[in-house]
Amino acid sequence: MPGNKAVVIVYTSVARHVNISMAVILSTFPMESVPMMILLLIVGYILQVPSLAVYAQHHGRKMVGMVSCP
């Protein structure tokens, strides 16, 4: 189960970063360039999320083992 906990941590982190990135894009760039920026963001996360999940599954025991439980 430690690998599953690590995968949940990775997906939670990715969701947070997607929300922050979308807010920055929408508040920073002009509306004409927003669709292209969002497309690039989505493609980047499509490539990043599966690779992070694979990493978390293979190294999840070490990642969760480092976290001390009270």
7-33 residue pLDDT tens: 666 667 777 877 888 888 888 888 888
C-alpha 10 chain-centroid distance: 6
Residues 6+ away with beta carbon under 8 Å from 34: 25, 26
Q: Which residue type is seen at 56?
A: A
Question: What would the mean pLDDT of 38-45 be, rounded to a whole number?
Answer: 82
pTM: 0.49
C-alpha distances in Å from residue 4, one per residue of 23, 46, 61: 29, 20, 9
Q: Measured at the alpha carbon of residue 12, what is the angle toward residues 23 and 9, in degrees to the nearest 5?
A: 150
Q: Report the pLDDT value the prediction gives residue 40, as an integer from 0 to 100.
A: 83
